[in-house]
Every structure is written in structure tokens, then in C-alpha cells.
Amino acid sequence: MKHVPVRLGPMALLLTVVSICLSVLGVLTFSTSRADLALSERYAKTVQTRYHLEVQGQEFLETARPGESEVFEDDDMVLTVAVDENGKVSQWTMEKKWTQDNTIDNLWNGN
Amino acid sequence: MKKHITAFYLETLALIVAFLGVLLVLSQVFGLARVQSEKAGQITAAVSLAERAAEAVASSGSLEEVQRLLDENGNTAIQDNTLEIQAEDLRASVTWESEGKLVRSHITVDWNGSELYSLETAAREEETP
């Protein structure tokens, strides 16, 4: 019995191209939605950290004596609270911890 | 001739089956992406609502004041020293615990009965000059 080879026709090529395009679209859609979810979770965590530091700062102010200051850290955020000699809040700074990137030295001194 | 026609039908059938398989997998991928997107939107809305409530607590002297700040068309109610806020599919609960000058508040945001987000905050009553 003579074996008849099955050859790929134009329809096969078309469906292959369509499948590849749809697959790429699917991968992009999934990665975008994954990035959205990761960003929203990071935002939620940051807000929780901020208000946790707020609680610690307010508790410190309840018992702080004039001239005292305290630094609170949580995750990568730092809260610095200071009370002046009159018992008023003189500093309330909340910032993210970061280290300067010094991999490129003396790129431009500004003059 | 008959063998060529049979081969053509077999090829077409195989292509259709393969294409259906690809479509099946991709529909799962698109569905999962949609679920993740919706969850991201819910989390963002919950965090935004909790933040608003926390800022209202920080700038108020009582739970009633917090209610006045957050109320929109009567979507708030106070029950057992807890302020309930209804915002579309989200429901937030804001507690008010006074410890002298310090006020502690626990804010939880639910979506369809399950807790989505929670926040602890505190505020001090400032002395008026």
C-alpha cells in the first residue's frame, strides 16, 4: 500500500500564525494583570507600615518628655519624632530607607 | 485520489483539534488574568477606603465627627461604638477606643463578607492654644 504523505497546507500555516499571536496576547495579558496585583499588594503593605509607624509615633508622644526624640523603623520605612523644650512636636518625618548608588563615581560635579 | 481526499480530511481534523486545544488553554489564561485584575482593583479600592477612614479618625474628636466626614448619601451608621461604611461592594468598620488623649482605631474592609484589608491607627487630641 502506497503511503500518502500529509503535507501542511495554507490553512495550517494560518492557524499556526493565529495561535502564536493569541498565545503572545495571552502571555502579555497575564503578566500585566500579575503586575497589577503585585503593585496593589505592595501599596496595601506600604499603607499598613505607614500607619503602624503612626501608632508607634503617637504612643511615643503620649509619654515623651520635652527634648526627647525617637526613631521608629518598620520594613523599609523610618519615622523620626522629636519633641522640643516646650513639649511641642518639632519633628515628624516619615521616609523610605534608601542607599545612594555609588557604582558610577564622579560622573559630573555640576561645574 | 480517494487517498488524497482522506489525507486532506485527516489534516483538517488534526488542525481543528490542535487549534481548539490552543483556544482552551488560552481561555484559561485570559480567565485567570481577569480574576487577578479584579482582585487588584478590589485591594486598591479597599486600601483607599481604609486610608480615608484613618485620615478621618486622625482629624476628628469623636466617632460622630468621623461619620460626618465620611458620610455620602447616608451610607454610614454607628452601632456599638463602631462606624459601618458601605461603599459599593466594600464594607468598612471603624472602631474608636479612647485611652485618655490617645485614640486607637481598628479599620477593617470586607468584600462580600470576607475580610480584604485591615489597618490600625492612632491619633492624639491636640491641646487648642
Task: Kindly give the confidence (pLDDT) of every residue in chain A, 111 residues in length, as a single tens digit, with 9 standing for 90 and above.
Answer: 556 565 667 888 899 999 999 999 999 999 999 999 999 999 999 999 999 999 999 999 988 889 999 999 998 899 999 999 988 899 999 998 877 776 777 777 777
CB B104 within 8 A of CB B117: no
CB B109 within 8 A of CB B129: no
Alpha-carbon distance of A54 to B60, in angstroms, equals 16
Q: Are A62 and B102 a contacting pair at CB < 8 A? A: yes
Instruction: Out of B41, B50, B122, name the one closest to residue A54 (CB).
Output: B122
CB interface of A with B, residues 36-75, below 8 Å = 36-37, 39-41, 43-44, 47-48, 51-52, 54-55, 58-59, 61-62
Alpha-carbon distance of A25 to B30, in angstroms, equals 9
Alpha-carbon distance of A28 to A23, in angstroms, equals 9
Distance from the Cα of residue A99 to its chain's centroid: 16
Quote the cell numbers at residue A20.
502564536
pLDDT tens for residues B60-87? 988 999 999 999 888 999 988 899 999 8
Q: Are B40 and A40 a contacting pair at CB < 8 A? A: yes
ipTM of the complex: 0.82
